[in-house]
Structure 1
Amino acid sequence: MQKDGANEKYFLGSVKNAIRILKLYSRPKQEYGITEIAHQLDIHKTTVHRLVTKLCSKGFLEQNPHTKRYHLGLSILGLSGLVTTHYEIYRVSLHVLKPLVDELGETAHLAILEDQHIVYLHKIECRHPVSLMSSIGQRNPALKTGVGKVILAYQPQEYIQHVIAKSGPYHCEKTEAQIRAELDQIKKQGYSIAKEEISNGIVSIGAPVKDYTGKVIAGISVVGPLDRIKKMKTGFLVDKIIKAAAEISENLGFYETKQKAASLERN
């Protein structure tokens, strides 16, 4: 146990120092050498060299071949793009999800897909919430949630295969053929329903959110107890959730009629 604790402390220390190195570049100066970084942050040069080498290998830093100093790499731009995109999805969904929760009386989520999991970007509780396995930032298996399935259904086949292969025991009660058939049906109908798959007595209905290109980049879901959901007609719930997802998609620049017109012109 003591050894594990020491390893964890070492790992966290390395992460902290790597972040400190990257934060140096928030200053006007664009390039730093190993000695400068060590002096600025009061870190041993050997440690700085090791961390800079690792950051370079992942594309977060690059070495100028002429000055031998280091500047930010393109991976930083990729991360900033993700942050901007996720923030935009979060921002435009706020005024859509709240009225949806008020009207339906059940909890709503906004989520994105990360590997074989979904991550919740937003959650709005209803007036009579139940215990759910969800919170902002939490990860759940995509194949066990309504929102996860509806996002996954629109992904490329190779990505779906990757998720199925990595999900392991999360879908052991279904064959790969059954999972693929379910995802095909979800894509065809434009929504998903997950009944008691991640929590007993809980139903989740999901719909896809698209960006301006028509790519599904997120999803929303309404989640509630089976007995309360049964009291409302499924068709009514599905219609409201699909319309809310479409409104968020429009706020992101996607218009169904425009996409259909463009498709007809290409054909």
Structure 2
Amino acid sequence: MGTITKALDLLDLFSSTHPEIGLGEFTRLTGRDKATVHRHLTELAENGFLEQHPLTRAYRLGPALLRLAAVREAAFPMRKLLHPIVAALAEDVGELAHASLLQGDALSPVVHADPKLHGVSVHFDESELLPLHATSSGLAVLAFGPDALRERVLARPLAHHTGQTVTDPTALKTLIVEVRKTGVARLEGAFDAEVTSQGVPLYGEGGVIGALSVAVPSIRAQPEKLAEIATRLRAAAQEASRSLGGPSPSHSRPLPHAARAAHP
């Protein structure tokens, strides 16, 4: 891991529940030398990626990220393109829908919508990175994304998020083969013990760039409802992929020869 990567990795430790982090906490979370962490934090602050609270001296995300986010959205308007599709999907199925983009070996949420038609709903945090092995969105990306990504993720230890998280590589490969057959990934209780979700890949000019998903409290996840959501999800993903400049996803897309050999 290079110096720049080590510095930028610190930014991923922030979340809606941890908007400010002190030097000591950074050191504990990373397991790195305190002096090295302090140097990285100082450099990030000097370049506007972080700023310090004037009293507590804890670090928080800086103004440079706001400017870069505006530049990104102006040049590649992902939120503008995806928001109406995600909102329409959520209204259509009556449940929370969200879209996320691939960021390294995880998914970064872009937009979500919840019609809030029920007393029991799914909590969704757009600031939380989604693991590829434990979410339906991630499983869809692993199934249809690059071979190198799949091999890299399955080769390393995978974190348990609930008692139902699948972390065994062989079991995950079996799930991936099934997703390739149906075009829709489905997981129950793998990231949130009380949530069942379904996800499909989103395509851009370079192939799979993210995923579209619908999450349902497991108490409402009857087979008929899930089947209807899957149909609407496929249609929404086709529309979104066209908007993003990619080919329409297809659950009948044939397996590459290498994948067929690896997953008989």
- What is the TM-score normalised by the length of structure 1? 0.63
Deviations 1:30-50 (A, max 9, x none): xxxxxxxxxxxxxxxxxxxxx
Q: Secondary structure of 2:222's partner? A: helix
Deviations 1:183-236 (A, max 9, x none): 1221232111011111112101111111145x1111110001112221743221
CA drift of 1:136 comes to 1.5
- 1:254 pairs, out of 246, 258, 261, with 246
Between the aligned partners of 1:118 and 1:166, the Cα distance in structure 2 is: 17
Structure 1 residues 19-168: aligned runs within 5 Å: 19=48, 83=72, 87-127=76-116, 128=118, 130-132=121-123, 134-168=124-158
- 1:220 pairs, out of 212, 215, 220, with 212
Question: Aligned pair 1:177/2:166, yes or no?
Answer: no
Counterparts in 2 of 1:240 and 1:167: CA distance versus 1, 3 Å: farther
Kept in 2, the 8 Å contact 1:141–1:167? The answer is no
Kept in 2, the 8 Å contact 1:118–1:140? The answer is yes
Question: Aligned pair 1:194/2:187, yes or no?
Answer: yes
Between the aligned partners of 1:167 and 1:154, the Cα distance in structure 2 is: 21
Kept in 2, the 8 Å contact 1:121–1:137? The answer is no
Structure 1: runs of 5 or more not aligned? 21-78, 261-267
Structure 2: runs of 5 or more not aligned? 1-23, 29-33, 50-67, 253-264
- 1:12 pairs, out of 36, 41, 56, with 41
Between the aligned partners of 1:156 and 1:200, the Cα distance in structure 2 is: 29
Q: Which moved more, 1:229-238 or 1:102-111?
A: 229-238
CA drift of 1:170 comes to 3.4
Q: Secondary structure of 2:221's partner? A: helix
Counterparts in 2 of 1:236 and 1:209: CA distance versus 1, 3 Å: same
1:211 aligned residue: 204
Counterparts in 2 of 1:170 and 1:112: CA distance versus 1, 3 Å: farther
Q: In angstroms, what is the RMSD of aligned CA positions?
A: 3.3
Counterparts in 2 of 1:10 and 1:176: CA distance versus 1, 3 Å: closer
CA drift of 1:239 comes to 0.3
Give the AA of the match of 2:182.
Q
Kept in 2, the 8 Å contact 1:115–1:163? The answer is no
Give the AA of the match of 2:154.
I
Between the aligned partners of 2:246 and 2:177, the Cα distance in structure 1 is: 22
Question: Aligned pair 1:237/2:226, yes or no?
Answer: no
Between the aligned partners of 1:161 and 1:11, the Cα distance in structure 2 is: 31
Between the aligned partners of 2:122 and 2:245, the Cα distance in structure 1 is: 35
Between the aligned partners of 1:85 and 1:151, the Cα distance in structure 2 is: 26
Between the aligned partners of 2:248 and 2:105, the Cα distance in structure 1 is: 28
Counterparts in 2 of 1:4 and 1:218: CA distance versus 1, 3 Å: closer
Q: Which has the higher helix share?
A: 1
Give the AA of the match of 1:248.
A
Give the AA of the match of 2:246.
F
Q: Mark the structure with the bigger radius of gyration.
A: 1
Q: Percent identity?
A: 18
Between the aligned partners of 1:154 and 1:85, the Cα distance in structure 2 is: 28
Alignment: residue pair count: 197
Give the AA of the match of 2:148.
E
Give the AA of the match of 2:136.
G
